[in-house]
Amino acid sequence: MQKQALQVRELVRRPVLAYAAKLMLAHLIGGVVVFLLVLEVLPLPTGVTPLRLDRANAVVFFVFMPFAAVMLLGGGLVAGRPILAWTARGGPPTPRERRATLRQPMRQLTVQVATWAVGLVVFLATNLQGGTQLITLVTVTITMGATTACAIAYVMGERELRGLVALAAASDPDATWRTSGIKARVMVIWLLSTAMPVFGVVLLAFPEAAGLNDRQTGPIGSAVFVLGILAIAVGGVGMLYVVRSIADPVRQVSDAMREVENGSTNARVSVYDGSEIGKLQAGFNRMVAGLAERELVRDLLSKHVGEDVARHAVEQGTALGGEIDDVAVLFTDIIGSTGLATVHRPEDVVGMLNEFFRVAVDVVDRNGGFINKFEGDAALAIFGTPQHLDDPAGAALRAARELRTEIMRLGIADAGIGVSSGPVVAGYVGASNRYEYTVIGDPVNEAARLTDLAKKRPGRVLASQRTIDAAGPSEQAHWRLRERVLLRGRGARTRLATPRRSSYPPELVGLQVR
């Protein structure tokens, strides 16, 4: 909690101070520009005493500026009181504090508009003796200055407070809020940099265009020049902030997308905008969250059914049924697992099974097969489907020898291993809403019977002659044909084969009886 409170304070301190300083500077410059425009630049109606000779206006200006500063700061403190309470307390904000944080630029704008409205009333009251024309001139000029200063301060405020806004928004990601959109922001800058100055020029030129030159005191060229300079300056500053308000989050999303392209599904961007930009940020986060979820599902699917089966399901679909393939089958079953469960704790038995199956999976994967299913203390491995192998029988036989070697090294359990090969039907079996990829055929039954017999043989590994015949010469050299036996449930005898003693590492040969 203390760490989060410090994080909030750090996010508040610098942005708020920078925001306050820029806000005061923007309004100070706006007030000075308005005063100088009326005082020195704008042509006054005939018969009106110039403001530079009117001490009342100067006195009012220099007295009102400190009052305006106090009004801006005091109103800002009142508007930001929920934020200050959140900062002092730390932790997540309350709903009221979160709403206040998200709406702070707009709340502050209200204070700014109110301050300029008071200033307008004060200066209109000071210049009532100038008549309707002077009052109109002062009103239009102050309105132009107020609009410019308030809009620039609002755009700056959204930028400076985005870190705090992002923290508040993250406290309730499902909540929605709205701020000015991209179109509105661009239109505001157009209003400030083009429409307002041009309106001022039109206002100045109107008397001459209407044949009212006798009401003007001198040319309007200097006024047009100053308004043009203001249009360029204000337009440049305003457009810079608008461009940054668009470019910064787009760059942030672009950098995060690069992380996703490099394989990271943890990339996220801060949501600190209620416009279309905020929708882009939130949409990116939802997209990456969806990718992460799908990646998790794919990873879990690969671990449940094997990576090859998962890839086959994605690429080929999962229609029920199957096709005939020539494959090799390896079946392994732990010896005496029932007795182990009676003398060991269940968690110890599970740990032993997991270690045994870890070795089995590694060996099968290394030789191009996949574990089709775990059946208690037994496992069925398939070679040749769905991933094609040039020599599935050779791969299964090699895996059987390597698995026996690893079992002897492991030393925690013993197991029988049977290997068979031949045509099977490989495909999805089950119901339309629950199915599994499996193989059905005589090789599966034969491998299971060979495993039962192997558990009673010292070597623990048996294969059928047809599997040896189907393997490549290099793997055949590691096997020796044995006697013919009648396996349980079969009508014809099966000739057995066992690994040669030389196929095992020398340090393990002593453990291999035959």
Query: pLDDT tens for residues 431-468?
Result: 666 667 778 888 999 999 999 999 998 889 999 999 99
Average pLDDT over residues 338-353: 77
Average pLDDT over residues 197-220: 58
Say what the pLDDT of residue 255 is: 81
Tell me the C-alpha distance between 198 and 194, whole Å.
6
Which range of 195-209, 319-333, 355-369, 428-442 scores highest in mean pLDDT? It is 355-369
Say what the pLDDT of residue 217 is: 47
* Residues forming a β-bridge with 494: 485
Mean pLDDT computed over every residue of the chain: 75
Query: 400 pLDDT exceeds 90?
Result: yes
52: pLDDT confidence band, cut at 50, 70 and 90?
very low
Lowest mean pLDDT among 185-194, 322-331, 358-367: 185-194
Query: 53 pLDDT exceeds 50?
Result: no
Which range of 258-267, 332-341, 371-380 scores highest in mean pLDDT? It is 371-380
Say what the pLDDT of residue 325 is: 85
317-509 fold: Alpha-Beta Plaits (3.30.70)
Say what the pLDDT of residue 181 is: 64
Say what the pLDDT of residue 251 is: 81
Query: 310 pLDDT exceeds 60?
Result: no
Give 169-234 as a DSSP string.
Answer: HHTSTT-------HHHHHHHHHIIIIIHHHHHHHHHHHHHHTT-GGG--S-SHHHHHHHHHHHHHH
Tell me which of 171 and 330 has the higher pLDDT: 330
Lowest mean pLDDT among 140-144, 196-200, 398-402: 196-200
Query: 494 pLDDT exceeds 80?
Result: yes
Nearest Cα to Cα of residue 86 among 197, 29, 171: 171
Contact predicate 196/144, CB 8 Å: yes
Tell me the C-alpha distance between 223 and 197, whole Å.
10
Query: 74 pLDDT exceeds 90?
Result: no
Task: Give the pairing type, strands 461-464 and 415-431.
Answer: parallel
Average pLDDT over residues 402-426: 88
Average pLDDT over residues 40-67: 65
Q: Which residues contact 412 (CB under 8 A, 6 or more apart)?
A: 352, 355, 356
Query: 213 pLDDT exceeds 80?
Result: no
Percent of all residues in the chain with a pLDDT value above 70, rounded to a whole number: 65
* Residues forming a β-bridge with 479: 499
Average pLDDT over residues 215-231: 59
Lowest mean pLDDT among 13-17, 259-263, 280-284: 13-17
Say what the pLDDT of residue 171 is: 65
Q: What is the pLDDT of residues 288-305, one digit of tens each?
A: 777 777 676 666 555 555
Say what the pLDDT of residue 83 is: 75
Q: What angle do CA 239, 105, 60 make, to 5 degrees?
A: 85
Q: What is the pLDDT of residues 114-160, one digit of tens each?
A: 888 888 888 888 777 766 767 777 777 777 777 777 777 777 777 77
Q: Helix or strand or coil: residue 495?
A: strand
Per domain, the residue ranges of the chain are 2-261, 317-509
Say what the pLDDT of residue 513 is: 38
Say what the pLDDT of residue 6 is: 53
7: pLDDT confidence band, cut at 50, 70 and 90?
low
Contact predicate 311/318, CB 8 Å: no
Average pLDDT over residues 306-311: 56
